[in-house]
Amino acid sequence: MHLAKEEGACGLFFLGMAGERSLADPYLFPIYEEASKLNIPICMHTGPGNPVLNNVFDFQMSGLFLSSSSLPIVGFRDLILNRIPDRFPDLRFGIFEAGASWVPHCLYTMRRQFGGDAEGWGPRLFEENRFFIACEEEEDIPYLVNFIGEDHLMMGSDYGHTDAARDAQMIAKMTERTDLPKSAIEKALGSNARLFYGL
């Protein structure tokens, strides 16, 4: 991590699970502690992070949804409900290439299980826990802002890849939108990412 930081790294790659371990497992605390000291955020990405799930779900029937795409959501839930951000008050967390449309449902289920008012399960949660979510331009961003807030939403274009998430026209599409305040667009396209990555 120190070498990566010296060479210009601005984020630490994680999957939604670390093998068979939850991201809330104390085994990972030394990594979080060092990342916090180095001002390197935890960047959760989709990917098959749990070998057991890979063996349980049939790719032909389930695709990558359960073994790959849903794992960042599991990571988010585990980190929040186990109050891991409270243990590392300077550490930032982000989720990438999982979209953001899952956020309202996840917050709803967490609130139903653990109680509290809607305000506590909205933008304040992302602010207090320093969680940033990358969304895609085609999602219902005005709706998502109600849950995530303007200050913790970033844009993902998967620039450089040729897969389904790639959107080479994302910036042009975002700047032409009229359903979002310009402040929200500017933050999602730039200042939020600079804050998240410590640039």
Q: What is the CATH number of domain 2-197?
A: 3.20.20.140
* Greatest Cα pair distance in the chain: 46
Which residue bears the tokens 């219902």?
140
Interval 102-160: pLDDT, tens = 999 999 999 988 888 878 899 999 999 999 999 988 899 999 999 999 999 999 766 66
The pLDDT value recorded for residue 41 is 98
Query: Residue ranges of the domains in the chain?
Result: 2-197
Q: What is the pTM of this model?
A: 0.89
Helix/strand/coil for 134:
strand
Asked if pLDDT for residue 65 goes beyond 70, the answer is no
One DSSP character per residue, 36-78 reads: HHHT--EEEE-S---HHHHHHS-HHHHTTIIIIITHHHHHHHH
- Count CB neighbours of 47 within 10 A: 18
Interval 73-83: pLDDT, tens = 999 999 999 99
The pLDDT value recorded for residue 80 is 96
